[in-house]
Structure formats: C-alpha cells, structure tokens
Amino acid sequence: MNITYIISDINKALAFEWIAQHLSNAEFKLSFILILQEPAALEQVLRQLNIPCQVLYYSSKKDLPNVFWRVCRQLRKTKPDAVHCHLLYGSLIGLTAAKLAGIKKRIYTRHHSDYHQRYFPKGIKWDKWCNKLATIIVAPSQAVQEVLTNYENVPVAKIKIIHHGFDLAYFENVSPARVATLKEKYNIGNHAPVVGVISRFTELKGIQYIIPAFQKFVSVYPDAVLMLFNANGDYKRQIIDQLAAIPAANYRLVPFETDLAAAYQLFHIFIQASTDRTIEAFGQTYVEALAAGVPSIFTLSGIAPDFVVDKRNAWVVPYKDSNAIYQRMEEMLMDYKIAKDIAKQGKKDVQEKFALNKMVKSLEELYARN
C-alpha cells in the first residue's frame, strides 16, 4: 500500500522519524508532503532514509491556495491508497485535496483536544470540516474521543484510538557525558534538587501554578533550581513576572533544547500541571518523563487519565493547585527512595502501553482494513 503523510508546520519531529523508520517496509510504501514556512529537520531525515518527500513552502495565508493546488496535483499524480494528515494546514489542505483527487481512505490524527472550543471558536468550523472529510479520525487519547463525540457529534465508529508510540530506549540510553554537557551548559553545578518542566509558555499548561509552589520550595531548599524548557509562548510575560519573586540563580529559561532525553536526566522531580482534563490531546511529557525514570507530579490531562494512578506510577495533584504541588514535592523528597520506586513502576507502565511497535502495529492494521 502507498501511504502519503501530509504534515504542516513541524521542525524536528521524533514521532514521524520513528514512523518513517519502522513503518516503511515490504507492505507499506511511505511518502511525505511537508507544508512549511521554514526548513525542517524532518526533511533531512526522510532524505537520508530515501523516503519520497515533497516540501511546499508558504510565507503567509495568501500562499495556501497555491499550496493546496500543488498538493492536489501531487495526489492525482501518485494516487496513494491512503493519506494520513497531521496538524492544522496539513489536515485542512490534505483532506480536501485527497477528496478532490478521489482518494477513498482519508485519515487525520487530531493533535488538539478542545482548544478551539475554549480559546478560538472560529476554529470549530475547521475541525468540523476535517471531521466531515475524514473517513477515519485517529484520537491519541480517550479525552480526544470524548471531545469529538460529545462536542462535535462525530460517530464513535469513525474514531480509532491509537496512543502515540515512543522509541523508549531513546529516553533510557543516555550517556553520562551527555548529561554532564547539559549540566555545564545550563550552569547546574551542585544545584539540587533540580525541578524540571517541559511546556510551552501558554496559560493552559499551568506553569503559573508551578512557580508559586517552587517559590515555597526554594525557601526550604535554597540550592534548588527550576528548569523551564520550551520557554516561549503567549503567556511568557506573565510567567516572567512571576519568576521575579524567585532569585535568578534558582531558575533557568531554556527556549529550545535538542537533547531532551539528556535533559530529563537532570531532573530530580518533573512536573506537568495542565489545567483541565481535556486541555491536552495527549501530552508527550507524561510518557517521556516516566520513560526516563524521573519521579513525576502530574495533573490528569490528555493521556494521563488513561493510565496514571496516584502513587502507583506518579504523584497526582488537582488542577490549578500550587499548594498541592508544593506538598507533593516535599513528600517526594522526604523519602526519595519511595519516589524512585514509584518512578520505576511508571517506566514499566509506559513500556507496556506506549512502545513504538504497538503504535506501528495499530497503524498497519488501520491502513490495511477496508
């Protein structure tokens, strides 16, 4: 079967690199169409794997009609058995072009949950358009399926839940030299404990509830350091204002880091505090942190309600509760051996549920079914 992936506005995307490496085989021939505003690392990986890849650049929305017709021409030329579309323009353009090109199997993965209902109601019409054109919608979590069925009236039969899969060894096999490089890069020195957060600076990620918890924490542990990765977003000003209450020596802002597997190994505690059950579509950091063996504090959002159990594989806190986050941090450090044991169980659980081969097998079954 010939499968064309149509993806928009990505740069480095390990998930698609892993799919390209493991799915393209004797039964499935992959090709990619990338809709981008700037060059992406994914393109180079695909070239190295000798996987056909067409890159279509746009500088503004006015360029998108031309991109659309180019996608139409490409699909009419190659006539894939199925398209699998990802992200906003990839899905809008890809599904519409595939319909016009007569491609009967049109799949898209819903990478957001109820974001448009909450923050951008005009976007609901785009979601409904994609839902209508798709013959199959991949939901990465139960939360996304609930949004599709309860808010957007998508028939359950049209939805397939496929959890994101991970090359879990990527997060386990990290050399001490890589960790030492990052410790020096970010001037960690003898700072401990290190509290890690990997979230864009947007309101829905709940970083504004982590910072007051850390402010209390650092008064007890004056050598603690808070590391905020992906430190950019529309809520950055508010977060910077909050950080003014913490000594500058006790936090690090990291806009971008390529070696996140090594970054996780810096952390004694990891926190993900998204503000609502359906605000996340999946939340890769839930899986990544546990795959890396880091004792973690979570709110139950996205994929977390599907597998996280308090004090079995992580610590669970209520939404928007700085005091609860602080109390859990204290509790973890009071007996860090227990914290590590719970993290070990977390690693076992993600290995069972989110191994890459499970996702690949599910995708193969999805593409092959009538």
3-state DSSP call for residue 298? strand
State the pTM of this model.
Answer: 0.90
Tell whether 186 and 146 lie within a shared domain. Answer: no
Distance CA 97, CA 95 (A): 6
Mean pLDDT of 249-265: 96
- What does the buried/exposed string (b/e) look like for 223-261 if buried means 16 or more CB atoms within 10 Å of the residue's CB? ebbbbbbbbebebbeebeebbeebeeebbbbbeebeebb
Residue 138 reports pLDDT greater than 90: yes
Strand (E) or helix (H) holding 109: strand 105-109
| pLDDT at 87 (0 to 100) | 97
Tell whether 152 and 186 lie within a shared domain. Answer: no
Tell whether 185 and 284 lie within a shared domain. Answer: yes
Tell whether 177 and 67 lie within a shared domain. Answer: no
Tell whether 349 and 362 lie within a shared domain. Answer: no
Name the average pLDDT for the chain: 96
Mean pLDDT of 273-301: 96
Q: Among 302, 277, 298, 292, which residue's Cα sits nearest to residue 350?
A: 292
Following CA atoms 361, 365, 367, 368 in sequence, which dihedral angle do they give, to the nearest 10 degrees? 130
Residue 216 reports pLDDT greater than 80: yes
Tell whether 197 and 328 lie within a shared domain. Answer: yes
Residue 23 reports pLDDT greater than 90: no
Tell whether 158 and 205 lie within a shared domain. Answer: no
Tell whether 208 and 68 lie within a shared domain. Answer: no
Domain encompassing residue 61: 2-165+355-368
Residue 121 reports pLDDT greater than 70: yes
Residue 218 reports pLDDT greater than 70: yes
Q: How confident is the model at residue 24 (pLDDT cuts 50, 70, 90)?
A: low
Mean pLDDT of 221-232: 97
Tell whether 45 and 81 lie within a shared domain. Answer: yes
- Which 8-state DSSP code applies to residue 276? S
Tell whether 312 and 364 lie within a shared domain. Answer: no
Distance CA 116, CA 165 (A): 26
Mean pLDDT of 331-342: 96
For residue 127, the domain's CATH number is 3.40.50.2000
Tell whether 156 and 195 lie within a shared domain. Answer: no
Please state, for a pLDDT cut of 70, what percent of the chain lies above it: 99
Structural domain count of the chain: 2
Tell whether 129 and 240 lie within a shared domain. Answer: no
Distance CA 300, CA 188 (A): 30
Report pLDDT digits (tens) over 71-96: 999 999 999 999 999 999 999 999 99
Residue 355 reports pLDDT greater than 90: yes
Residue 194 reports pLDDT greater than 70: yes
Mean pLDDT of 326-346: 97
Q: How confident is the model at residue 12 (pLDDT cuts 50, 70, 90)?
A: confident
